[in-house]
Structure 1
Amino acid sequence: MTSTVSTTNNTSTLLLKRVLIGAGIALLLITVFIMPSILHPKPEWSKLWMLRPLLVVPVAGGLAAAIIHVLLGWQAKNGWPKILVYFVCLLGYIIALWLGTVVGLDGTLWN
């Protein structure tokens, strides 16, 4: 019974690490992207316009990383070729970041 608990703890720890890494990469990218606009925002934007992209994009990156965690576990059980699964995961992460960026920047830099 202890091996089941240990396996569950390892899986949830790995999931948390992947989600934090995915969200961290997304936060870093959106911060670099909006940094020049923070200094000279347009007057029609609210004072705290940058909070929306700084929250939405890391959430999208974290959710994409959680989906990647599930796909990598599924690949291990079903024996799919690793290169195909990694390609699908990378493509999915890029698409999730793109959609998160569009939603986060809608009405400000994306207008």
Structure 2
Amino acid sequence: MPTTPSVSLFKPMLLGGCIALLAISFFVFGVDNPNPAWGKYWMVRPLIITPLAGAMGGVFYAFMDYQSARGFNRTLAVLLSLVVFVVGLWLGIVLGLAGTMWN
């Protein structure tokens, strides 16, 4: 009987969140003159929502890694994880920037 490796959610979540934070930081901190209609703390929302979306993409990767250890095709699992992460990151950026830069 094959043994399944213990899957840690912390590392993929942290990596996904950090990648998403770097991606949204590129947009948020690149604004020199924000629109006054956006409010004083307009950048808090994207800096919270987007890393959460990236962390969820990391959780999906950990789930697919677990499934590949149980016999699922490893290449398909990595490709599916990458697609889900990119789509989730895009949705996180859209939700975070809605009403400000994404108008």
- Common fold by TM > 0.5: yes
The question of 1:69 aligning with 2:62 is answered yes
The alpha-carbon deviation at position 21 of structure 1 amounts to 0.8
Report the equivalent of 1:99. Answer: 91
| Unmatched segments (≥5 aa) in structure 2 | none
Amino acid at match of 1:62: A
Q: Between Structure 1 and Structure 2, whose CA radius of gyration is higher?
A: 1
The structure carrying a bigger helix percent of its residues is: 1
Q: Percent identity?
A: 37
Q: Deviations over 1:57-92 (max 9, x none)?
A: 000000111111111101210x23221111100000
Structure 1 residues 6-85: aligned runs within 5 Å: 11=7, 14-37=8-31, 39-77=32-70, 79-85=71-77
| Cα distance between partner residues in 2 of 1:44 and 1:89 | 37
- How many correspondences in the alignment? 99
CA RMSD of aligned residues (A): 1.3
Structure 1 runs, 4 residues or longer, greater than 2 Å off: none
**Aligned match for 1:108, one of 87, 97, 100:** 100
User: Is the contact between residue 64 and residue 78 of structure 2 (CA under 8 Å) also seen in structure 1?
Assistant: no
Return 5+ residue gaps in structure 1 as ranges. 1-6
Q: How far apart are the structure 2 equivalents of 1:54 and 1:87?
A: 27
